[in-house]
Amino acid sequence: MREYLKFYIDGKWVDPAEPKTAEVINPATEEVSGTISLGSKADVDKAVAAARKAFPGWSATSVKERLDLLKAIQAEYANRQEELGKAVTEEMGAPISLGCGFHTGLGAGHLQTAIEVLENYKFEEQRGPTLIVKEAIGVCGLITPWNWPLNQVTVKMFPALATGNTMVLKPPQLAPYSAQILAEIMDKAGVPAGVFNMVQGKGSEIGTALSRHEDVDMISFTGSEPVGAQIMKDAADTIKRVGLELGGKSAWIVLDDSKLAEHVGGATSNMMVNSGQTCSAGSRLLVPESRLDEAVEVAKQAAQAVTVGDPNGNFAMGPVVSKDQYNTVQDYIRKGLDEGAKLVAGGPGRPAGLEKGWYVQPTVFLGTNDMVIAREEIFGPVLVMIPYKDLDDAVEIANDSMFGLGGYVSGEDVATVNQISRKLRTGAVWINGGFDFHAPFGGYKRSGNGREWGEYGFDEYLEVKSLIGYAEAE
């Protein structure tokens, strides 16, 4: 049983201002796995004051000093990487192979990327009579979700740290364990007091307090569209910068070629990774109408091949994160049936033999783009297949969404997949399974604003200053 009752503020583990706790539920067992403290505005005020006090000194450090610290963090992260993976499995139900694999690998990758970018990043550039200087924005409030807890924390924390900012982290209440271990890593690595602070608690209290705080210069939030909109409203009175990475309903376009079956099967299996709890998941699978029967059969077999069970066992998919999330996904599956979508695989209720735990059947529907299940983000292992007449129709369907976070194109003809990828109105397009830690990630439309990952992730945390008429002193 885990018990994390202190917050990390000003380089010390401290008691909350008001003693209040919450239980954390293991989604695989529905049993209590630990207890955390819930913070208040008073804790936020204390953390922000520590970050504000530390900012002048940390922002004035050299690139070498910040690199040395990032490398010290990297060593501690490596020492505790397996522990981090097990924490992810316990807190949000990811299979242990995924928790100790891609989940922790993403955190390590963002840390290594921050080091690589910092080694070459230009904070100053002379343009004619003007020196353009990029300076740390200040105190950053980092508000992160539960679905990829290590990824979402590290993709914010390390670029903010590398660019000379101080910060207050608000981890997800549903998945707080991995963030607690990260805070211990930061402390062990020697992060100066006040540079990194962490307060656990409810988003409605801690997130709101950070968003409204006059001494917070920036909010970086990953989560749902409604909460992102509220954060923008809360931040408006203090005119702070707000970076948002929100929801998605990404289309995966499969071309009509000899690898159609391979690509349909891969897209279906990919949708079920992390129990479908991925904002950029390819939840709309677009296939050629002329080969619809073949594509449906392949998707059916791929979904039925996804094993579901105890995340500590040898299964491909664990539970969704909570009872509420389970109920939400079940509601969407029922809506799909009510709308007349054809059920290809899965359906309502738990998989056979699983009576406890928030397990969802890997589900595939055949539907149309105007259905609720094709318009709204379900955030579960539910795929909607949609036929297209030709490639222009595929692009039109893909872009017919209020979201614009990600897109996918799979096909043998390089020129065609490249052409389609250029037409998609999304912040990122994955072509035939590509992956790049340095590629900017963020959304069009209601999927948010700003970009994370790589060099563009650094830009989010920097102000730009023009020194007009600047000349080097002789």
The catalytic residues are 245
Residue whose tokens read 């929801």: 247
Dist. CA 470–CA 126, nearest whole Å:
9
Dist. CA 106–CA 439, nearest whole Å:
14
Half-sphere exposure of 294 (CA within 13 A, CB side): 15
Dist. CA 246–CA 456, nearest whole Å:
17
Q: What is the helix (H) or strand (E) element at residue 449, kind and residue range?
A: strand 448-449
Residues 6 or more apart whose Cβ sits within 8 Å of residue 83: 181
For residue 337, give the 3-state DSSP assignment. Answer: helix
Which amino acid does the sequence have at 8? Y
Residue whose tokens read 């009510």: 338
Residue whose tokens read 């049936």: 337
How close are the terminal C-alpha atoms of the chain, in Å? 65
Q: Find the angle CA(73)-CA(78)-CA(79) to the nearest 5 degrees.
A: 100
Closest of 203, 92, 197 to residue 143, by C-alpha:
203
- The secondary structure of 177-241 as a DSSP string is HHHHHHHHHHHHHTPPTTTEEE--S-IIIIIHHHHH-TT--EEEEES-HHHHHHHHHHHHTTT-E
**Angle subtended by helix axes 260-272 and 292-304, to nearest 10:** 40
Closest of 37, 54, 58, 88 to residue 199, by C-alpha:
37
Asked if residues 280 and 250 have their Cβ atoms less than 8 Å apart, the reply is yes
